[in-house]
Structure 1
Amino acid sequence: MGTTQLETAPEPKYWHLKTVLSEALDSEFAVGEILPNERELAARFGVARATLRQALEQLELEGRLQRRRGVGTTVAPPRVGVAVDPARHTWPGAPGDDWQPVDAVESSEVPAAVARLLELTPGERVHIVHRSRVTHGQPVAAEQLYVPVRTVPDAAVTGTDAPARARAVLRALQQRELEGQDRAVELGSARADDARELDRLPGAPVLVVTTRYFTDGRTAAVALSTYRADTCRLTFGDNESEAGVPVLAG
C-alpha cells in the first residue's frame, strides 16, 4: 500500500489524519470491511499509534467506523435516520409510538437530575418504565421513563408480568391531558446497562434525549432516551423529508 506522509498542518495532527483517513474510507474501503491493524495504519501514514488512535476514535464518534468485539474496526454503514418526535403532541405509548415496553418498577431512587425536573419530595415514589427501540432490525435506543405515583396512582398499574405493568403505566398516563412537552439533546457516554442493550462498549458515545411532559401546570413525566451515536441520525419533524435538524449526521 506504500507510505503516505502527512503534510505539516496548523490543526492537530490527529485531526488532519482523521481527514486523510476519511478520504481513504470513501475511496478504498467498502461498508463492513475490516481496517488493517493499528501498526500497519500507523506505518502507512507515518504517525505514532497514539495519534492514530485519536483519529480512529474521532471517526467512530462521527459514525464512520465501528469497533466490534472479536472483529476489529470496520467501516460503518450510513447512519439510520431516527425520528425523535413523530407524535409531538401525544404521551409515550400512544398510537404511532414504535418504542417497545420492556418492564416497569416502582422506586424512590431516581437520578438527581430527574428528581429536580419532576420536583420530587424526599422519598416520593416513581414508576420507572424501561422501553427499547429497534430500527431496521438493530437496537438503536433504550429509554427510562420516570412517572411519579402522583401522576399515575398505584391502583392504575396492573399486570402479571413486567411488560404488562409497563403498558399499564403508559395507558394510565394517556388518560391525563397533555399540555405540552420539551426536549433537549446532548452527547454522553453509554452506561453499562445501556451499552449491553445497545451492543456497545461501556463509555461509547451516545446521544441522550431528555423529554419532559407537562400536565396541570407541572412536569408529569420525564424520559431519558439513549441513542447509539455511531448508527443514528436524529431527525426532528414528522418525517425525514421535512426541514428538520439532523444531529451529528455522518
Structure 2
Amino acid sequence: MSASMPIPASDRVVEGPTPKHAQLREILRRAVEQELPPGSPIPSERELADRYHVSRLTVRSAIGKLVEEGLLSRVRGKGTFTATRRMELQLYLMSFTDDMRRRGLTPTTEVLRTSTEVPPKPNANALGIEDGAPAHRLMRLRRADGVPLAVERGWYHAGKMPGLLELDLSQSLYAQLADAYNVRPDHAWQTVWAESADRETARLLGMRTGSPLLVFRRVSSSQGEPVEDMTSWYRGDHYQVTMQLDRNSPDFGHHPQYGGTR
C-alpha cells in the first residue's frame, strides 16, 4: 500500500448507496488481511484521502472502525500499523513468564507498587483471612518482547508468605513462591469479563482511554488453601479466548462467590 501503488478499479471509492467510509473500510480490511504482514505501517490519513478522493473524516472513520476490531493499531507519535495476531489467553494455571517463554517471546516485568495493608472485604474473603488482617498487595506491568500486554493487581496471603515483598518481584512470582515458601498454586477459579481501559491502565499499556480490555480475576489455591487473588487487565487487541464447550451440565454448586474487586 505504498503511495505509488496503482489502484485497481475494484478498489475505488465511488458514489452510491454504500457510505464511502464503509467502502474504504473494506478496501483497507482486504489489504490488512491479504497483503500486509503484522506490524506494517499503513499510509497516513492525508495519503489515503488523496489516493481514494475522500475526506480525511471519511478516512478517520474507516480506520477507527478497524482499530476497534483489532485489525489496526495506533501508536502515538508513530502512526497506524497492522495489528499483531492475537494470542490465545491461556486458561490453565501457568505463570505469565512461563507462558511467554513457551510462545518464544522474552517476558519482562516492571513492579509498579507494593504494600502490606488491610484488603477490601471481597479480597479478604477470597483469601480466607480475618477482617482487619493484612495482605500483601502487588501491582505489576507485564511485557513480552518489550510490548506492554497486561497490568496485574493482586493480593497475596501474608500469613502464608511472610516477606513476599522483599523478593525480586520482577521475576516469575510462581517460581519464587515455590522456592521461598514451598507454595505451588495447583487450583484456581477464574472469572473473565470485558472492560474499557481507565486512564491509568490505558497509559501503562500504551492505549487510548476507553480501549477494550479482557479482564481475568483468578483466585488460586495451593493444597486447598487460597494464596492469591489477582486481577489482570490484558490488551484486547493482542488477545483472544477460545473455549471448548459440550452439552454436559456444569456443576454450579461448588463455585465460590467472591464478589468484585474494584
TM over 0.5: yes
Residues 19-52 of structure 1, C-alpha deviation per residue, up to 9 Å, x if partnerless?
4431243467564223331695499386893x65
Tell me which amino acid in the other structure corresponds to 1:106.
Answer: T
Task: Evaluate the alpha carbon distance shift between residue 210 and residue 17 of structure 1 in structure 2; reply closer, same or farther with a 3 A threshold.
Answer: farther
Aligned: 1:106 with 2:116 = yes
Between the aligned partners of 2:50 and 2:41, the Cα distance in structure 1 is 18
Runs of at least 5 residues in structure 2 that lack an aligned partner in the other structure: 1-6, 102-106, 245-262
Between the aligned partners of 2:54 and 2:129, the Cα distance in structure 1 is 56
Residues 90-134 of structure 1, C-alpha deviation per residue, up to 9 Å, x if partnerless?
6x5897786656443223355x86566557766443211233433
Aligned: 1:37 with 2:49 = no
Between the aligned partners of 2:33 and 2:96, the Cα distance in structure 1 is 40
TM-score normalised by the chain length of structure 2: 0.61
Between the aligned partners of 2:65 and 2:20, the Cα distance in structure 1 is 13
TM-score normalised by the chain length of structure 1: 0.63
Residue-pair matches, total:
226
Between the aligned partners of 2:81 and 2:100, the Cα distance in structure 1 is 32
- Which secondary structure state, in structure 2, belongs to the residue aligned with residue 34 of structure 1? coil
Task: Evaluate the alpha carbon distance shift between residue 149 and residue 62 of structure 1 in structure 2; reply closer, same or farther with a 3 A threshold.
Answer: same
Runs of at least 5 residues in structure 1 that lack an aligned partner in the other structure: 238-250
Between the aligned partners of 1:168 and 1:20, the Cα distance in structure 2 is 48
Name the residue aligned to 1:130: 139
Name the residue aligned to 1:192: 199
Q: 1:65 aligns with which of 64, 72, 94?
A: 72
Q: 1:204 aligns with which of 203, 211, 215?
A: 211
Between the aligned partners of 2:144 and 2:153, the Cα distance in structure 1 is 18
Deviation at 1:181?
0.8
Between the aligned partners of 2:59 and 2:126, the Cα distance in structure 1 is 41
Tell me which amino acid in the other structure corresponds to 2:201.
Answer: D
Higher RCO by CA contacts (8 Å cutoff, separation 6 or greater): 1
Deviation at 1:143?
1.3
Between the aligned partners of 2:165 and 2:31, the Cα distance in structure 1 is 56
